Chains A and B, each alone.
Chain A
Amino acid sequence: MNDFSELENELKKLRPTQPSAELLARIDAVFAKADSNQKTGDIAKIIHPTRFKVSWLSLGLGLAAAAIFLIFARLVLGRQSTWA
């Protein structure tokens, strides 16, 4: 116990004024904005795969080439069997 204990107790009874509700709201808004920015940033960071697109022209050309190849192969094989 020191000489000042009574004075210290009196001082502790003095209550500092409370922060205003506006201050709490302002801090809340700052953190909410930061949260929102972080979420937006997170969404922007997600890598979305490019959609699979069918190129009808390429598919048509490919099928046509395959059909020509098959017809040609059949003709060649047909001649070979005739010669044999």
Chain B
Amino acid sequence: MENVANHEDWKVCFSEYGPGLLLFARQWVRSPADAEDIVQEAFVKFWRRNHRIDNRALLYATVRSIALDLIRRDSRRARREAEVFSDAAQSSQPQFAVEDESQRALAVAVDLLPHEQREVLVMKIWNELTFAEIGSALEISQNTAASRYRYALSALKKNLQPQ
């Protein structure tokens, strides 16, 4: 893939990053429709400015920024999302295409992680960003990103252990 965004190859780029971006957006809004709105706005904004495609940190930072703006714009929405966040995972539509019960359990465990840990995990596992990129996108240090990732994995491992 070329480094610089050309006019016609956005579909190639989107097919690569779209699922990860959508999953990332859903860390703030549980409704798939809202998440798609965020991804659309962020991707179009990013593409129009002809940012470098390898500047993924900026792409994810754009998604995050638009998601937070959306929540701030509508306080009722924020309350609603907060309620959803505090609710169990069963109420939200699935973020993963699970194939069996073990995957379902893993998806639920991911969903129950604290938000700060989950967003780092999502960026690392399903978007394959480096800790430096994650730090840049979330405006935290690389070490903090790595710590949150380790905490997330520890929590998952603990939660998935048979009682």
Contact = CB atoms under 8 A, between A and B. Distances in A.
Interface of A: 4, 7-8, 10-20, 22-24, 26-28, 30-31, 34-35
A19 B98 contact: no
Contacts of B48: 34
A8 B110 CA distance: 12
Interface in B7-47: 7, 10-11, 14, 18-20, 22-23, 32, 36, 39-40, 43-44, 47
Contacts of A12: 125-126
Contacts, number: 80
Given A14-B126, A16-B126, 14 more contacts: A4-B157, A7-B157, A7-B160, A8-B125, A10-B106, A14-B103, A16-B19, A17-B22, A18-B19, A19-B36, A20-B32, A24-B14, A24-B18, A31-B10
A27 B14 contact: yes
B125 A11 contact: yes
Contacts of B102: 10
Q: Lowest 10 CB-CB distances: which A-B pairs, in order?
A: A16-B23, A4-B153, A16-B19, A19-B18, A23-B36, A14-B96, A15-B97, A11-B125, A19-B22, A30-B44
B107 interface: yes
Given A17-B22, A19-B19, A19-B39, A11 B44 contact: no
B65 interface: no
B156 interface: yes
Nearest to A5: B153
Contact of B96 (A4, A17, A24): A17
A23 B39 CA distance: 9
